[in-house]
Structure 1
């Protein structure tokens, strides 16, 4: 399911969650194991080697229990009551690899699965499940030097309060007291917040692993809340970029440059985002071309050559999406930008949709292209 604005496809990360075909499914292999995102000591939900998920919910007096499918819990996997009065069920087919949000409907009410950890998405804390990916090594927690993700509260006169951001600093940042770093401002999607790229996206682990392999120039990542006015589902046409643009350009960036060892130059500053964060990136980079030299839209639309008024300071435009989204649009847009003399790169994540494995892989592809000397 996707949410469409007038110009961009803004889709919540629940797109493709538990989207199954009922035809020609292979026999289910009974090698289910607890999900890696379960609460400590909880056996359910479970995932098997094919990507099927099995749920168990304790609701002895319920009349119906269903695992949500897509926006608002429509459809999904209907559970059946077992002899012990618990409710159990297995998805009708395998899920896409990677992270997904879900919730439980009990007699029409929406609840989180008590067996699973919670993640902020869909403008609420949702249950999360991880389907092991064949290429998950790049975001795995490894025995390598690790950077830090620190919370900062920065003053925001325009909104009359302090606002929160999370800042990833590379391994060794604290010990290298004179070294300065480029910065990527990285935005979340609609319904999420500034915790998403670390918790759901594993951006810090992706960076740690790339740095350990000497594949990238180390840089700082700043992640902040991208909403300044509350917009309900389906109302993205009412979202106004100007308040957030003020927060980012006039308040957050000066704070980061004053409190972290950044290279405070356009040539050493990037902005990117997934889904709605891509829409924000698109608009702000065009409105403020003097601020950023690297632009990245991850399932967040495209640029056209006509939108680029001055290409002289643009070092890179990166466009990506999942193969189940609109890959031809991303590829064609990058080709048109290249023909116009702009350094543009497209990337398509195979067998994924509007979901976090697409964006984890996109960051893996993007990071080595940033701040190359």
Structure 2
């Protein structure tokens, strides 16, 4: 499967922003994602991370936060029995997963909040970003993120989705809204876009600034297959058809029946990050009577071959949005980074645009296959959607 690298990258580590600085600035502060009252982990203005783990009887402690999970930060035992250490280099801005290895066992950091990623609840750390204002919690009208349980006859259970409704939804009972179906990446779940991605805050801030049309966002679990690390066949055995049935035949009818949607293709979009983009590319172009806006965030590209193989693509697709982190596009190194696309997405996007398609290509500078790329991508994509 040519997208295996894209999907797997969501479960891998993070990019180090550069070589070790000559000196580390001692302005460390607790991460914004620490549990209440916990002082560690800490981050500084350069993007370094510092850890302190109380495990007096341990023989070895390591933090997995590192390039592709390789190396990480090895902690040293201090006189008080705690294990401490600072990362060898600064990390990319934004959110990163990590966990501890203590005497060969895998554990979460008791000082940090947990987020579902890599098919497990992982510790999370936030490296302060220079552009964090667009997803900051501000004194603006806020929408609501609510959990819904919808029946799924095809899977024999009730399934969960989270639905973002924009500010004013409850006050304007006659107003109907477009809908974006927004998918998570490999190893994550339907909580990712709200918790790690701050999708609701991004939308609240864009709407308050008058930069986007208000619309509903629906986030559901995309892994209908029982695929876990080490399972027979692995990702190569992933079958899109079960999730496609859940999405098209069960979730969309439920949302249209329970929320005030504009229930037609011109007002319905599908997008996703990494594996979610892979799912989007497999589903949306084949159902252009359902979706007219399509977004692939570090999840592949659209080439003219894709367009020519898809009846009515030029006629029915109102937006083809593709984005990557700049580190994902860096082909100057001998080893391509996780998530590097199989072809040139910039050239593909330009070819679509030349063919008269509303094709938009966005690059998040100095980020890789990570949530800062996808936060920025949503901020760029949302204002382009549903321009009647």
Q: TM-score, normalised by structure 1?
A: 0.95
In 2, distance between residues paired with 1:16 and 1:150?
30
Asked whether the equivalents of residues 334 and 346 of structure 1 are also in contact (C-alpha less than 8 Å), the reply is yes
| Alignment counterpart, residue 170 of structure 1, candidates 163, 166, 172 | 166
Q: Say if 2:231 is the partner of 1:258.
A: no
Gaps of 5+ in 2: 331-342
Post-superposition Cα deviations, 1:16-51, rounded to whole Å, max 9, x if no partner, equal 426476x55230011110000000000000001111
* Aligned equivalent of 2:280: 281
Post-superposition Cα deviations, 1:302-344, rounded to whole Å, max 9, x if no partner, equal 1122223212111010000000002782211111211222110
Q: Say if 2:32 is the partner of 1:17.
A: no
For residues 60-209 of structure 1, the aligned pairs below 5 Å read 60-69=56-65, 73-209=69-205
Change (3 A) 1:195 1:267: same
SS at match of 1:125: strand
* Aligned equivalent of 2:372: 357
Q: Say if 2:324 is the partner of 1:321.
A: yes
SS at match of 1:49: coil
The alignment of Structure 1 onto Structure 2 pairs a total of residues equal to 368
In 2, distance between residues paired with 1:188 and 1:148?
19
SS at match of 1:280: helix
In 1, distance between residues paired with 2:117 and 2:285?
28
Post-superposition Cα deviations, 1:82-114, rounded to whole Å, max 9, x if no partner, equal 000100000011010000000000001000000
In 1, distance between residues paired with 2:11 and 2:129?
17
Deviation at 1:71, TM superposition (A): 8.7
* Aligned equivalent of 1:39: 35
In 2, distance between residues paired with 1:91 and 1:133?
18
Change (3 A) 1:130 1:86: same
Change (3 A) 1:303 1:35: same
Asked whether the equivalents of residues 104 and 112 of structure 1 are also in contact (C-alpha less than 8 Å), the reply is yes
In 2, distance between residues paired with 1:363 and 1:356?
10
* Aligned equivalent of 1:307: 306
In 2, distance between residues paired with 1:368 and 1:105?
42
* Aligned equivalent of 1:338: 353
In 1, distance between residues paired with 2:94 and 2:201?
15
